[in-house]
Amino acid sequence: MAEGNQGEAYLLIDVGHVLTHAAYISRVEGAARLAAVAEASTTTTAVEGGLLDGVRRATANLELLVGRQILDRAGELRQPRDADGHGVDGVVVTASLAPLLNVALVGLTRDFSLASAVRAATLPYVSLQRAISLDGSGDCWDAEDLEALVQQPPDVVVIVGGADGGPVTPIREMGEALSTAYSLLAAPERPAIVFAGNERACRPLQAAFTGVVEVSAVANVRPSPQKEDLGGLQNELARLFYNRLGRCEGLRQLSHWAQVGLRHDLDALARTLRFVARRHGLARGVLGVDAGGNGSRVLWVRSEGPALNWASPFGLGSGLAALRQLNDPTAVVRWMYHPISWAEVWDRLSNIEVRPGGVPETEEDWDLQQAAVREALAATWKGALGAWAAFAEGRPAGEADMIVARGTTFNHARTPGQAALMLLDALQPTGLVRLALDWANLLPGLSGLAERDPQAAVQVYDHDALLELGTVVAPRGVLRSGARALHARLTVAGQARAELDVPAGSIRRLPLGVNERGRLELYPARGLDVGLGRRGRGGVVEVRGGALGIIIDARGRPLRMPDDDEARRSTLEAWQREIEEP
């Protein structure tokens, strides 16, 4: 997409593992607005015609809604938009289908160069396969590590180590062993080698790999113990990832069709969430949550610093297999209020796993799907908190001012309350947090649109991108069920709007519409912390409304459910009911 001039209409396409989403952006009285969204099943096999078939179907569905032709008779894009309003001026394509870049890190010291390399490689499109430190074995390889790097070669091996000007021998020996091992692989199977260590060791290392693979050298990630430089390595990993993306047959075809470069959806989402964090001045950042078919991802983005991501194999399609492998038969059942045996639950989930494109048709099936989302996200979140602890800079990892959820399960939930409750149960946020849905799957595409037409991207973001569910007040701590947990008073434009006592173990809502702002006075019980300094401290906070207004989640943290099955089911049912009650 060429930069500069403003277009009249844009097409945003997001290709997921199960569904392909298309959105049509057009100008209405000078401002860019979302006109329609449509979806179709993602097609991947050659029999189905590859990814393009699904993209064309989603676009054709969009044409029905907007009453404009976007494709010509041959199924090609009509670009630019003509005088009759047919066609589009630009296209943005994002895809989560792109396989992540598998990276192995090898360093001399775990606490210095390797730690910096891990930070540099914490990118949305990188899967860190292994991080090998040679400091425990006298600066030399363990045979098992070398064997593993050959049996399952990553896409990229990053070698780091040594301050600039330091000794060369350990790096050269490391390279010689690795080079000999990789010379045994056929050339196409050999990984790319990136060196981001002692600059003096660069030439000897390149010499060690001569005739095997070319070593690309970037700036030392740890030129001295006090200094860190991650930019060079991050740029190189981005280059390698997008190079490889361009070589994936299906994605290359799609990129050629759209005449634009493809973006990985998580990379694109991180950019948009960074904008969101800055635009709203969210000091604790934004948490992006994506429950997908073959896995779930969480992304924590603050105004500054790295965008931290965590991907797990727990998903709602083929990713259900990973949930089953937890070997906990109660794993999903514990979130269900319908009395179904765990055997029946896993039979049904297995059928969803092999046919992820289906939709629930019964109350039980909805309950089952949402229970699986809770389990998948909770397991993902647990992994993310562990992985992010090192990046939290002394604050609790993952605590954000806003949570934005993506994925069909959230966007197709029958009520906003169900979407909110899934998030609250799985992530158990504390303090004051805004909840929102990327209801039209626009956020990744907006970062691409911003490169072409920043004003249009901001206008669409402001008006159409998010469905604000509301602000959650979730005290940390546990009280006896039924005891008064919190007293809350909401004032809007100087007028008292609502006032209530919230019993422990329950959820209550205060009415505050979308785009409304209010002042919320909170008086928590002595044992509870609402994030205003310490336990029992109350105060007044400015809050924004949403489809559900203000949600006071006084169920306590960590969330506790009765052990008895019947009591647990009735508790879950009560929570479902309470979040729907205005």
Partner 1 sequence: MRAEPIASRLYAQTVVEHERRLPAAGEVLVAAGEQVESGRVIARCQERGPLRVVDAAEQLGIARDALPQYLRVRLGQEVQEGQALAAGGFMGWRAALAPVAGRVAGIAAGRIFLEETPRLIELRANLPGQVIRVLPGRGAVIRAVVSRVVGIWGAGGEGYGPLVLRSAAPTESLHWISIDLACRGKIVVGGCCLDKRVLLRAARFRALGLVVGGLAEHLRAAALELGLVVVVTDGLGAVPMAGPVFDLLAAHEGDEALAAGGRGEPVARLPELVIPLGAVRGPVHVAPDRPLAVGDRVRVTRAPYLGATGCVLAVVEAEGEVWARVSLDDDETVVVAYRNLERLG
Q: Which helix (H) or strand (E) holds 485?
A: strand 484-492
Backbone angles phi, psi at 33, to 5 degrees: -135, 155
Would you count residue 350 as binding partner 1 (CB under 8 A)?
Answer: yes
Among 351, 415, 455, 570, the residue binding partner 1 under the rule CB under 8 A is: 351
CA distances (Å), origin 287, targets 115, 274, 276: 24, 10, 11
13 counts as binding partner 1 under rule CB under 8 A: no
What is the side-by-side strand order in the sheet with 495-503?
495-503, 484-492, 517-524, 539-544
The answer to whether 186 contacts partner 1 (rule: CB under 8 A) is yes
- Interface characters, 260-299, with partner 1 (x: CB under 8 A): ----------------------------------------
Q: How far is residue 573's CA from residue 367's CA, in Å, rounded to a whole number?
A: 10
Q: Does 207 bind partner 1 (CB under 8 A)?
A: no
Q: How far apart, in Å, do the first and last CA atoms of the chain sit? A: 45
Cβ-based nearer residue to partner 1, 57 or 476:
57
Least distance to partner 1, CB of residue 255, Å: 22
For residue 176, the Cα-to-chain-centroid distance in whole angstroms is: 39
Q: What strands, in cross-sheet order, belong to the sheet with 402-406?
A: 308-312, 296-301, 286-291, 402-406, 431-437, 467-474, 550-553, 507-510
Helix (H, G, I), strand (E, B) or coil at 443: helix
Q: How far apart are CA 219 and CA 199, in angstroms?
A: 8
How far apart, in whole angstroms, are the C-alpha atoms of residue 59 and residue 14?
11
38 contributes a contact to partner 1 by CB under 8 A: yes
Among residues 209, 337, 346, 439, which is the contact residue for partner 1, using CB under 8 A?
346
What minimum distance in Å lies between the beta carbon of 456 and partner 1?
A: 25
Span from 80-88, 142-150, 227-235, 275-283 in contact with partner 1 (CB under 8 A)? 142-150
Q: How far is the CB of 54 from partner 1 (least distance, A)?
A: 9
Q: Is 48 in the site for partner 1 (CB under 8 A)?
A: yes
Task: Please report, as a single letter, which amino acid is at residue 283.
Answer: A
40 binds partner 1 (CB under 8 A): yes
- 348 sits near partner 1 (criterion: CB under 8 A): yes
Query: Which of 2, 83, 187, 359 touches partner 1 (CB under 8 A)?
Result: 359
180 is a site residue for partner 1 (CB under 8 A): yes
**Residue 41 interacts with partner 1 (CB under 8 A)?**
yes
Contact call for residue 60 and partner 1 (CB under 8 A): yes
151 touching partner 1, by CB under 8 A: yes
> Of the candidates 10, 141, 209, 335, which one interacts with partner 1 according to CB under 8 A?
141
Binder among 6, 44, 61, 576 for partner 1 (CB under 8 A) = 61
Please, what is the minimum distance in Å from the beta carbon of residue 143 to partner 1? 4
143 contributes a contact to partner 1 by CB under 8 A: yes
Total number of residues binding partner 1 (CB under 8 A)? Answer: 45
Long-range contacts of 561-566 (CB under 8 A, 24+ apart): 561/334, 565/339
Structure tokens at 410: 């959230």
Out of 31, 140, 389, 483, the only residue in the binding site for partner 1 (CB under 8 A) is 140
Residue 520 makes CB contacts below 8 A (sequence gap 6+) with 471, 473, 488, 489, 490, 491, 510, 540, 541, 542, 543, 550
Q: Are 101 and 155 in contact (CB under 8 A)?
A: yes
| 176 scored as a contact of partner 1 (CB under 8 A) | yes
Contact 2, 449 (CB under 8 A): no
**What does the binding site for partner 1 look like in residue numbers (CB under 8 A)?**
38-41, 47-48, 57, 60-61, 64, 140-141, 143, 146-147, 150-151, 173-174, 176-177, 179-181, 183-184, 186, 343-344, 346-348, 350-352, 354-355, 357-362, 364-365
